[in-house]
Amino acid sequence: MGFQASSLKSIMPPGRYVVAVSGGVDSVVLLDMLMRGNQFAAPDYKFIVAHFDHGIRDDSSEDAGFVAELAKKYGLEFASRRETLGSGVSEELARTRRYTFLRSVANQNHAKLVTAHHADDVVESVTINLQRGTGWRGLAVMDSDVVRPLLDIDKQLILDYARRYHLIWHEDSTNASDAYLRNRIRRRAHDLADDAKRQVIALRSHQVGLKAQINQEVVDLVGTGPEYSRYFFTHINQTVALECLRYIVHARLTRPQLGRALLAIKTAKPHVIYEAGDGVEFRFTSRNFVVKLIK
């Protein structure tokens, strides 16, 4: 799991990037790696630092100030938002609100979102999904349009880098709380042998490749739209139909929602508009249907 900072350029071609920086060691190291040595110089590259303050801790505003100073140090634009989610907020809601903000900054700047997730995060996420009884997609974690240049780097190497360059970061006190599942999993995953971690990461890579193959097969089956055949979805195996629908709606719907949408495809009358949830609409003719994704 070794790395060289210069290898980031192979992952991040010239363009515009919004770097999510919490103030913790992972994102502080990522930002320093991007800035060190002027390897990502303008005008080929533009970076914006983005920080989301959940308002979960009383002292969280100090993190925002710290990240603002980091952005100033590196001569970068800074975007932030504070929300008062409170100490009892769920991990899922906090994550959703954070990504809503980060994606809004990226969209406004026509940029790609970059996060500091690393190899240990992969192990933790796979472990959490396995504990929850995930399907096969739950093993293909962190596979999206988000740029994650540190995925092959383990936590110890990140800490080594921070100490080597005498970086300063803020430690989030909630990381020590047993109230959050990820924290409990993190302590267990930390004790895994390196070989076991490598096996989990290899499993994740295999599943990501499998996901890409299945997505391509779905495209081969249903096409790229905008219209899709009701007859096709009525007569194919339900498992295949749900997988195809999941791809068409960009994975916005849960499995129960997909099941109800499939029933609507089979039974809805022409000219009916079916709202499946999460901004997904199905519009029907006698033979076909069109999916509309509402932002």
pLDDT band of 3, cuts 50, 70, 90: low
Average pLDDT over residues 238-255: 90
Count other C-beta atoms under 10 Å from residue 154's C-beta: 22
Q: Report the distance separating Cα 290 and Cα 221, nearest Å.
A: 16
* pLDDT, tens digit (0-9, with 9 covering 90-100), for 86-118: 777 777 788 888 999 999 999 999 999 999 999
pLDDT at 25: 95
Q: Report the distance separating Cα 282 and Cα 263, nearest Å.
A: 12
DSSP state of 174: G
pLDDT band of 209, cuts 50, 70, 90: confident
* Inter-CA distances, 117 with 47, 98, 218, 284, Å: 18, 14, 29, 41
Average pLDDT over residues 123-146: 71
**CA gyration radius for the chain?**
22
pLDDT at 145: 82
- Res. 67: pLDDT tops 90: yes
pLDDT at 262: 97
Among 48-62, 72-86, 194-208, the range of highest mean pLDDT: 72-86
- Reported as type and span, the H/E element at residue 290 is strand 288-293
pLDDT at 261: 97
pLDDT band of 173, cuts 50, 70, 90: low
For the chain, give percent helix, strand, coil, nearest 5.
Answer: 50, 15, 35
Q: What percent of the chain has pLDDT over 90?
A: 49
pLDDT band of 254, cuts 50, 70, 90: confident
Average model confidence (pLDDT) for the chain?
86
Q: Which residue has the tokens 């390897």?
A: 39
pLDDT band of 139, cuts 50, 70, 90: low
Q: Report the distance separating Cα 98 and Cα 94, nearest Å.
A: 6
- Res. 189: pLDDT tops 50: yes
* pLDDT, tens digit (0-9, with 9 covering 90-100), for 18-47: 999 999 999 999 999 999 988 888 889 999
According to DSSP, the residues that pair with 112 across neighbouring strands are 17
Phi first, then psi, for residue 50 (nearest 5°) are: -125, 135
Least confident of 100-109, 230-239, 249-258: 249-258
Residue 223 DSSP SS3: coil
Q: What percent of the chain has pLDDT over 70?
A: 85
Residue 61 DSSP SS3: helix
pLDDT at 1: 42
For Cα atoms 186, 207, 145, give the angle at the middle one, nearest 5 degrees. 80
Domains assigned to the chain: 5-116+145-180 (3.40.50.620), 224-293 (3.30.465.60)
Q: Report the distance separating Cα 109 and Cα 99, nearest Å.
A: 15
Question: Rounded to two decimals, what is the model's pTM?
Answer: 0.71
Average pLDDT over residues 164-193: 69
**Exposure class string for 46-77: b at 16+ Cβ within 10 A, else e:** bbbbbbbbbbbeeebeebbebbbebbeebebe
